[in-house]
Amino acid sequence: MTAAEVPHPHDFTDGDPLPHLRQALANGPPTYKDDTAPEVKDLATDLCSLNLVELTQLNYLICKKLGLDPNILAVIKGGLSSGGSSAAEEAPAAVDSGFRRVVLREVPKGVKERFPIMKLMRAEDEKLSLADCKKALESDPTVLFERIDKDKAEEICNKLSDMGLLGLAENVD
């Protein structure tokens, strides 16, 4: 067979190299019948509007109702990474240094909303300037205090909670 005798792909498609693509574009996106119950759609909408704290609380409630450990994700992760054995057996015990860092999860946008946080920061550490406080609030993650005593960190988190904010005291090595 010579090169002139070899059929061209256009010979099989009436000169159109992408007939199926053109037909699909002409038909538009496929439509599927949605058999989802309205209650399930409403539930999905409500779940998608939850923040991280509310999702954590939901996880806890569902796990308790089902009789599961609320920390099931850590157990599953440990089981997968260790080849199926228990995460508690494999994981080394976390060492508590007694020091914490205070992290603010959601920082308010406006200056008026941020000012009480800056005031709290300066009350806890007199060496901080307003510029230092502003810089800390604009960082990601928002670490308000680094390496402070456990009791003081809990006290600061409680004060933040009284302001309607979520502050977490994370263990520092």
Q: What is the pLDDT of residues 32-81, one digit of tens each?
A: 777 888 898 898 898 888 888 888 888 888 877 777 776 666 656 665 55
51's CB contacts (< 8 A; 6+ apart) are: 106
Angle, CA of 155, 74 and 45, to the nearest 5°: 80
Question: pLDDT tens-digit profile of 134-153?
Answer: 898 888 788 888 888 888 98
Instruction: Find out whether the peptide bond into 38 is cis, omega within 30 degrees of 0.
Output: no
d(CA 171, CA 100): 5
| 155, burial (CB in 10 Å: exposed 0-12, middle 13-18, buried 19+) | middle
